[in-house]
Amino acid sequence: MSPTIRPVYREEVGAIAALARTIWAQAYRDIISPAQINYMLAQRYAAPCLLEELARPDIWWDQAFLGARRLGFAATQATATPGEFKLDKLYVHPDTQRQGIGSALLAHVQQRAKARGGKQLILAVNKNNAQAIAAYRKNGFEVRESVCVEIGNGFVMDDFIMARSLV
Angle at 88 between CA 130 and CA 167, to 5 degrees: 90
CATH number at residue 105: 3.40.630.30
CA distances from residue 44 to 53, 83, 135 in whole angstroms, order as listed: 10, 25, 23
- Domain count for the chain: 1
CA distances from residue 76 to 30, 38, 58 in whole angstroms, order as listed: 26, 22, 8
Q: What is the DSSP string of the chain?
A: -PPEEEE--GGGHHHHHHHHHHHHHHHSTTTS-HHHHHHHHHHHHSHHHHHHHHH-TTEEEEEEEETTEEEEEEEEEE-SSTTEEEEEEEEE-GGGTTSSHHHHHHHHHHHHHHHTT--EEEEEEETT-HHHHHHHHHTT-EEEEEEEEEEETTEEEEEEEEEEE--
* Per-residue pLDDT of the chain in tens (167 residues, 90 and over written 9): 699 999 999 999 999 999 999 999 999 999 999 999 999 999 999 999 999 999 999 999 999 999 999 999 999 999 999 999 999 999 999 998 888 999 999 999 999 999 999 999 999 999 999 999 999 999 999 999 999 999 999 999 999 999 999 99
What is the predicted pLDDT for the residue at 97? Answer: 87
* CB of 86 closer than 8 Å to CB of 25: no
* Domain ranges, residue 151: 4-165
